[in-house]
Amino acid sequence: MTEMVFLLDLVVILAAAVVVVAFLRHLRVPSIAGFIVAGMAIGPNALGFVRDLHQVEILAELGVVLLLFGIGLELSLSRVRRLWRPIAAGGALQVGATILVVTGLSLLFGRDIRSGLLLGFIIAVSSTAIVLKGLSTRGELETPHGRLALGILIFQDLCVVPMVLIIPVLGDTTSAGASVLIPLLKAAAVITGVLVASRLLVPRFLEEIARTRKRDLFVLSVFLICLGTAWVVSSVGVSLALGAFLAGLVVSGSRYREQAISDLVPLRDVLASVFFVSVGMLLDLRNVIDNPLPILGLFAAIVFGKFIIIFLTASSMRLPSRVGVMTAASLSQVGEFSFVLLLAASGTGLLEEPLRSNLTVAIILSMLATPFGLAMGPRLAGGLGKLSPLTRLLQVRTTEEMHDAEPLRDHVIIAGYGLTGRNLARSLTSNGTRYIIVDINTENVRDAAQRGEPACFGDVTSAEVLEHLGTAEARELVIAINDPDATARATRAARLAAPNLRITVRTAYDADVKRMEEAGATHVVAAEAAAADAIIDRVLRNIDDSPEDQSGPSCS
pLDDT of the chain along its 556 residues, tens only?
455 666 777 788 888 888 888 887 777 677 777 887 888 888 777 777 776 666 666 666 777 777 777 777 766 656 666 667 777 888 899 999 999 999 999 999 888 898 999 999 999 999 877 787 677 767 677 777 888 888 898 788 778 777 877 887 787 766 555 555 666 676 677 767 766 766 677 778 888 888 887 878 888 888 788 778 777 777 766 666 667 777 777 777 677 777 777 777 677 777 777 777 877 776 667 777 787 888 899 999 999 999 999 999 988 887 777 788 889 989 998 987 888 788 788 777 788 877 888 888 888 888 878 877 887 777 776 545 444 444 444 445 555 555 555 667 889 999 988 888 899 999 999 988 999 998 877 778 878 888 888 888 777 887 878 888 889 889 999 999 888 888 888 999 999 989 999 999 999 888 888 889 999 999 999 888 888 888 988 898 888 776 655 444 444 3
CB of 399 closer than 8 Å to CB of 457: yes
- The answer to whether position 260 is within a domain reads no
- The answer to whether position 164 is within a domain reads yes
Return left, alpha or beta for 230; rule: phi > 0 is left, psi -120 to 50 is alpha, else beta.
Answer: alpha
- The answer to whether position 495 is within a domain reads yes
User: What is the rounded CA–CA span in Å between residue 352 and residue 110?
Assistant: 14
Instruction: Give the H or E element holding residue 437.
Output: strand 435-439
Domain end position, chosen among 360, 381, 402: 381
Task: Judge if 522 and 467 occupy the same domain.
Answer: yes
CB of 222 closer than 8 Å to CB of 264: yes
CB of 222 closer than 8 Å to CB of 208: no
pLDDT for position 81? 66
Task: Judge if 444 and 528 occupy the same domain.
Answer: yes
87: DSSP letter: I
Task: Judge if 311 and 438 occupy the same domain.
Answer: no
Phi, psi of 236 (to 5 degrees): -105, 15
Task: Judge if 325 and 440 occupy the same domain.
Answer: no
How many domains does the chain contain in total? 2
Residue 212: how many other CB atoms lie within 10 Å: 11
Helix (H, G, I), strand (E, B) or coil at 319: coil
Task: Judge if 134 and 282 occupy the same domain.
Answer: yes
Q: What is the pTM of this model?
A: 0.68
Task: Judge if 343 and 427 occupy the same domain.
Answer: no
CATH code at position 333: 1.20.1530.20
Domain end position, chosen among 347, 363, 381: 381
- The answer to whether position 232 is within a domain reads no
- The answer to whether position 490 is within a domain reads yes
- The answer to whether position 344 is within a domain reads yes
Task: Judge if 476 and 375 occupy the same domain.
Answer: no
Instruction: Give the H or E element holding residue 414.
Output: strand 412-415
List, in sequence order, the alpha helices (H) in 292-441: 292-316, 321-331, 337-345, 355-368, 370-381, 388-394, 399-405, 419-431
Task: Judge if 398 and 306 occupy the same domain.
Answer: no
- The answer to whether position 240 is within a domain reads no
- The answer to whether position 237 is within a domain reads no
CATH code at position 400: 3.40.50.720
User: What is the rounded CA–CA span in Å between residue 467 and residue 460?
Assistant: 10
Most distant CA pair in the chain: distance in Å? 95
pLDDT for position 125? 92
Domain end position, chosen among 381, 405, 422: 381
Task: Judge if 454 and 421 occupy the same domain.
Answer: yes
Q: Which domain holds residue 372?
A: 2-172+278-381
Task: Judge if 358 and 393 occupy the same domain.
Answer: no
Task: Judge if 353 and 418 occupy the same domain.
Answer: no
472: DSSP letter: G
Task: Judge if 84 and 152 occupy the same domain.
Answer: yes
CB of 164 closer than 8 Å to CB of 340: yes
